[in-house]
Amino acid sequence: MDGIEIYVSTTGNTPTDFLATTALYNSTGIGEPYIGQGWATRDIDITAYSGQTIYIAFRNNNYNKLVIGIDNISVVELSDNNAELTSLNFPQYTTIPALIDIEGTITNVGGNTINSMDITWTDGTNSYIDNLTGLTISSLASYNFTHNTQLNLVNSSSQTIDVFIDNINGTTDPDMSNNSLTQTITTASFIPTKRVIFEEAGGTWCPWCPEGIVAMETIEQNYPLTAIPIAVHNGDIMTNTLYDASLNMPTYPSARIDRKIEATGMGGVNATKFMEYYADRINVFSPVEINADAIFDPSTRDITITLQGEFAIDLAGDYRFNAVILEDDVGPYNQNNNFTNWQPPVIAPLSGINFSTSPNPVSIKFDHVARDILGGFDGSIGSLPSTIITGATHTYQYTHTLPSNHNENNIQVVGMVIDNNTGEILNGVKVDLELTTNVKNITDNNSVIIYPNPAKDELNIKGDYLMVEIYDNLGKLTLSSPAKKSIDISLLKNGLYTARIKTKKSSISKKFTIDNQ
């Protein structure tokens, strides 16, 4: 953790000049971010030095005095009654009909406390004002708001919403350039189930990489149906050269989450941070629902992988399918381990490996090992059309011959759709191998049946399954249950839902409507 002291001198800029004064800011590092966790903003009041020439010094107060990072230093005069509309926090995609809360975050970038303001949103035709009073937003603090008028969306078209703030403490904001934001809400035919893909880079040679193993097991333990861990090895016997080189991480352990977030070092790759990354990504709208089958023929050792994507909105661009072969229970191999005698203990929650009581190196088996990436790192060119229409379903098939030293009983396949325009993984799915005697079919969604539809009070599920998760039309998890013939839905609001049903072989999505009137 990075700690820092900040000194101000009016006499000179030597260490002696600064140390003759008392630090205006003093942090030991407790509560400050690790390198790799991102930047944190701190401020100090230097009003007492008004009209004087001053020198400012920063002193490393890190617990190990190794390194600190400082950037974007500014000295500013804060105007009173100055507010900033920092972000809009309502969804960009929804099904219809929908009542949507207009929500956002306001930051007080002024020098005095904000006690009141007006927040207005407009759809281009009508405007709605919310007069907020009784506030206590101190200087540089933030405030999350929910407007008292909801957006009632009934038409299947995009809706642009403009939001702006004014009348701060009953006066005009001195800087109106940061008082407004615009967001477009697009209607989707349904809300696909989002899954988050973690591509974690590590190697047996890396003594800090047990932290990555713990993080991957933690995210899998907490979100087995919606988090997909992929271990991309570097510099050891489990390395897939193409995948490793393409992931191209600067340090180890590292990770890319949906190829949208990059996490580096112990500060970025740990159980706590992985849970935060998941929370950041799980509610991001995905335009595609993915199903997959992976059929294994023991006589040839061929795996036939069929990916199926159902799209909820129109898309245009370079979108691609891809598939990754994973293997669990690989090894054992020696893992270098700098966590011997470490406190608090570093324990992998699924395998039970306690790296704090283990030697250096420690002999362990490895899960989620990336054996191959079939479409190359960027996905298969031409696997999806350049123009995709709402409601369209597209399929793509891969064939992979499993090497004899890869255990088919421990193999899983990850399917994904990649936006090659940005590099982002839009969605994924993970399935086990299915044995066949030359019969290869896409997952039979009819093997699990839900009824009635619309459903009232109870949803019946017929078929062999392990558990079900029910998501509302905004993609929020509203209910989860182990396998039962009837699921109590009496407490859920009316509307469109998706049942995500986990079977022994795959995951199946079923859309249904609740009408509890």
Q: How many CA atoms lie within 13 A of 448 on its CB side?
A: 26
Q: How far apart are CA 145 and CA 181, in angstroms?
A: 14
- Do residues 294 and 432 make contact, with C-beta atoms less than 8 angstroms apart? yes
Residues 6+ apart with CB under 8 A from 458: 486, 487, 488, 489, 490
- Strands 302-311, 393-401: parallel, antiparallel or unpaired by DSSP? antiparallel
pLDDT digit of tens for each residue in the chain (517 aa)?
A: 457 889 999 999 999 999 899 998 887 655 555 544 456 777 888 888 988 999 999 888 765 566 677 888 888 888 999 999 999 999 889 988 889 999 999 999 999 999 999 999 999 999 999 999 999 999 989 999 999 999 999 877 789 999 999 999 999 999 999 999 999 999 998 989 999 999 999 999 999 999 999 999 999 999 998 999 999 999 999 999 999 999 999 999 999 999 999 999 888 999 999 999 999 999 999 999 999 999 999 999 999 999 999 999 999 999 999 999 999 999 999 999 999 999 989 999 999 999 999 999 999 999 999 999 999 999 999 999 999 999 999 999 999 999 999 999 999 999 999 999 999 999 999 999 987 644 434 445 557 888 888 888 999 998 888 889 898 876 678 898 988 889 999 999 888 888 888 887 667 778 888 887 6
Residue 131: the pLDDT is 97
404, 402, 397, 383: which is closest to 303 by C-alpha?
A: 402
336, 411, 406, 333: which is closest to 368 by C-alpha?
A: 411
Residues 6+ apart with CB under 8 A from 360: 207, 336, 337, 338, 340
Residue 239: the pLDDT is 98
Q: How far apart are CA 495 and CA 290, in angstroms?
A: 23
Residue 517: the pLDDT is 66
DSSP, residue by residue, 17-34: HHHTS--SEE--STTSPP
Tell me phi and psi for residue 19, to 5 degrees: -70, -10
Residue 76: the pLDDT is 82
| Residue count of the chain | 517
Residue 25: the pLDDT is 86
What pTM was computed for the model?
Answer: 0.72
Domains contained in the chain, CATH given: 4-60 (no CATH), 83-187 (2.60.40.10), 196-435 (2.60.40.10), 445-514 (2.60.40.3080)
Residue 51, classified by CB atoms within 10 Å of its CB into exposed (0-12), middle (13-18) or buried (19+), is: exposed
